[in-house]
């Protein structure tokens, strides 16, 4: 199977750099999202509990819904998250656990750098919503429903020592299938010691309702880009999306931060996709869907045979 060539069979020793995945020579348009009202799709994540299904949602100020689509763009699920507001939903991630996967919706966008809640209502804080993944079928029929049982994790950013810092403009969210910790990658680049980098923050499990969780700086990307989306494969390989390019860090250690710190601390050569704010690992390749295009194409970059 093609997946064997690109997904690590086991973790490499810390400091070792694993082989980069290989892909087909070009992207394939697999279908289109027929619902033309969905014109701001900002993320994509592949389900494991529902084979052949991807989850997506729209960017800020759109309905507080998540959508299940199949590989041809057919909408097979539509779920409202009761009582929430899409302030600036930017990314989804999936927590893969045996038998029961959970979805995280990342209300993490902060273009103005003001969402720490200190000068506005608590609703201005960045937050994550988590709920068990609904059951849908890639072949339909479409399932609609309302998510009423979910966790809300409000958080603030901190430096490596745990000292609170200013809000970060972030659009990339990912959940490690090995540790189950949640990571946020900032969009805005920092210059440290004359070198540009993007900071990576970890929300350590267990996350808690009703308190301010801490997203602590644990790593940085030596390849500095305006990252718009993130995903981690079931074996822990990291993909970050910037513009029309995917940057991939094959898993090299027990944690996300040890992978970013591996030598050489650089990703695989940029892999061309299409301009979008979404990237998803799937068993057959990397998938994406653009925003602002109607009908939105579902695009796959397949693993090489």
DSSP H/E element including 260: helix 256-260
- Beta carbons of 108 and 90 less than 8 angstroms apart: yes
Within 10 angstroms of residue 91's Cβ, the number of other Cβ atoms is 32
- Beta carbons of 198 and 220 less than 8 angstroms apart: yes
- pLDDT number for residue 120: 56
- pLDDT number for residue 47: 96
Which single residue is written with the structure tokens 């070198």? 195
- pLDDT number for residue 162: 95
264: which 2 tokens? 């050489």
Which single residue is written with the structure tokens 């994790």? 153
Quote the CA–CA distance of 232 and 94 in Å, as a whole number.
9
- pLDDT number for residue 104: 98
Helix (H, G, I), strand (E, B) or coil at 155: strand
pLDDT values of the chain reduced to their tens digit, one per residue, 305 residues: 222 222 222 334 444 457 888 999 999 999 999 898 999 999 999 999 999 999 999 998 899 999 999 999 999 999 999 999 999 999 999 999 877 899 999 999 999 888 987 655 566 899 999 999 999 999 999 999 999 999 999 999 999 999 999 999 999 999 999 999 999 999 999 898 888 999 999 999 999 999 999 999 999 997 899 999 999 999 999 999 999 999 999 998 899 999 998 865 667 877 889 999 999 999 999 999 999 999 999 999 999 98
Which single residue is written with the structure tokens 């994550």? 128
- pLDDT number for residue 152: 96
User: Please, what is the end-to-end C-alpha distance for the chain in angstroms?
Assistant: 8
- pLDDT number for residue 124: 84
229: which 2 tokens? 């989306």
Quote the CA–CA distance of 155 and 78 in Å, as a whole number.
27
Cα separations (Å) of 26 from 22, 299, 303? Answer: 12, 10, 10
Q: Phi/psi of residue 122, each to 5°? A: -60, -20
Residue 258: is the preceding peptide bond cis (ω within 30°)? no
Q: Which residues 6+ apart lie within 8 Å of 229 measured at CB? A: 42, 43, 44, 91, 171, 172, 240, 241, 276, 277, 278, 279
- pLDDT number for residue 19: 81
- pLDDT number for residue 129: 98
- pLDDT number for residue 61: 87
- pLDDT number for residue 222: 79
Give the global pTM.
Answer: 0.92
- pLDDT number for residue 14: 42
Q: Which residues 6+ apart lie within 8 Å of 105 measured at CB? A: 57, 66, 81, 89, 92, 128, 129, 130
């Amino acid at each position: 199977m093609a997946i064997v060539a690109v997904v690590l069979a086991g973790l490499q020793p810390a400091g070792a750099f694993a082989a980069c995945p290989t892909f087909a020579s070009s992207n394939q348009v697999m279908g289109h999202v027929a619902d033309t009202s969905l014109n701001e799709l900002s993320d994509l994540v592949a389900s494991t509990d529902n084979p052949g299904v991807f989850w997506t949602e729209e960017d800020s100020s759109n309905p507080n819904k998540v959508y299940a689509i199949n590989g041809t763009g057919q909408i097979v699920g539509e779920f409202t998250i009761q009582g929430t507001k899409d302030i600036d939903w930017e990314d989804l991630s999936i927590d893969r656990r045996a038998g029961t996967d959970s979805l995280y919706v990342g209300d993490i966008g902060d273009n103005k750098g003001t969402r720490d809640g200190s000068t506005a209502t608590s609703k201005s804080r960045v937050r994550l919503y988590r709920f068990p993944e609904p059951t849908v079928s890639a072949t339909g029929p479409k399932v609609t429903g309302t998510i009423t049982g979910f966790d809300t994790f409000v958080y603030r950013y901190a430096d490596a020592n745990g000292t609170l810092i200013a809000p970060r403009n972030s659009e990339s969210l990912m959940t490690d299938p090995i540790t189950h910790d949640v990571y946020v990658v900032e969009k805005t680049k920092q210059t440290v010691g004359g070198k540009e980098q993007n900071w990576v923050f970890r929300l350590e499990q267990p996350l808690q309702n009703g308190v301010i969780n801490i997203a602590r700086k644990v790593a940085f990307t030596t390849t500095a880009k305006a990252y718009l989306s993130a995903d981690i494969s079931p074996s822990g390989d990291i993909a970050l999306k910037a513009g029309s390019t995917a940057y991939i860090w094959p898993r090299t250690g027990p944690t996300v931060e040890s992978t970013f710190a591996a030598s050489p601390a650089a990703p695989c050569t940029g892999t061309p996709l299409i301009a979008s704010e979404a990237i998803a690992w799937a068993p057959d390749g990397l998938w994406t869907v653009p925003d602002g295009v109607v009908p939105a194409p579902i695009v796959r970059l397949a693993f090489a045979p």
